[in-house]
Amino acid sequence: MIEQLQDFPDNVAAYACRGRLTKADHAAVMPQIRDKLARHQKLRAYVVLAPDFAGIAPQARWDHMKFHFAHLFHFERGAFVSDSTWMHRALRVLTPVIPGHWRAFSPAEAGRAREWIVENRR
């Protein structure tokens, strides 16, 4: 399940991911992000991976990857909030090769992640 988080600026796509994400979850969120892209040249992402996050269902992986590769350059900054060691390691490996500024934060740092994602400087 993907839940849209409230009280973020319009240029921030803010979501919490729980359980195993399905093709239907992905399809429900993409129009919201496309709508934001129609209003903003660059977006920011704030993603919370809940402790029960179980990944992306195989049927949804291709749609998920296609969307992210097609829109990668539209994101200037991203914050991932997770207690998952693999997420922190993956971001450390990927940030040098993907555009924008991406950081991983622990759940205890969620407030700091939120401040970072909405601050005005790049």
The conformation of residue 83, written as its DSSP 8-state character, comes to -
From the candidate CATH numbers 3.30.750, 1.10.287, 1.20.144, 2.60.40, the one assigned to the domain spanning 2-118? 3.30.750
To the question of pTM greater than 0.85 for the whole model, the response is yes
pLDDT in tens, the chain (122 residues): 999 999 999 999 999 999 999 999 988 998 999 999 999 999 999 999 999 999 889 888 888 778 777 777 789 999 999 998 877 788 788 777 788 889 999 999 999 999 999 998 55
**Residue ranges of the domains in the chain?**
2-118
Core vs surface per residue 66-78: b (16+ CB within 10 A) or e: eeeeeeeebbbbb
The answer to whether the beta carbons of residues 70 and 101 sit under 8 Å apart is: no
DSSP string, 9-65: -TTEEEEEE-SEE-HHHHHHHHHHHHHHHHH-SSEEEEEEE-TT--EE-HHHHHHHH
